[in-house]
């Protein structure tokens, strides 16, 4: 009997959670949980203006280099590791 009650409680909680997740706190169960979501609305909204992009660091500008895309840096790192491994296991030391 206790197992059946535990299963019903778990299924009920799952139903409530999925309903609130899919419909939102304001609309779930006719707004019964609406007062729970009214606490801090500033965290829930997007900023009015987009965040400005960060400038290129001064060190990169000073050296006259342009920042590389992360894919290029990873590709170079992998190629270097493959070259080191090839030299190590080919006996060319």
CB 18 within 8 A of CB 28: no
CB 83 within 8 A of CB 75: no
As a whole number of angstroms, the distance between CA 64 and CA 61 comes to 5
Average pLDDT of the chain? 77
pLDDT digits (tens, 9 = 90+) for 50-59: 777 766 665 5
- Low pLDDT (below 50) residues in the chain: none
């Amino acid at each position: 009997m206790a197992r059946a009650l535990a299963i019903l409680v778990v299924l009920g909680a799952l139903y409530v959670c999925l309903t609130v997740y899919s419909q939102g706190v304001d609309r779930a169960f006719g707004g019964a949980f609406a007062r729970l979501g009214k606490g801090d609305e500033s965290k829930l909204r997007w900023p009015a203006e987009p965040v400005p992009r960060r400038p290129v660091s001064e060190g990169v500008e000073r050296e006259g280099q342009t920042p590389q895309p992360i894919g290029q840096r990873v590709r170079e790192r992998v190629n270097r590791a493959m070259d080191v491994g090839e030299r190590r296991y080919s006996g060319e030391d």
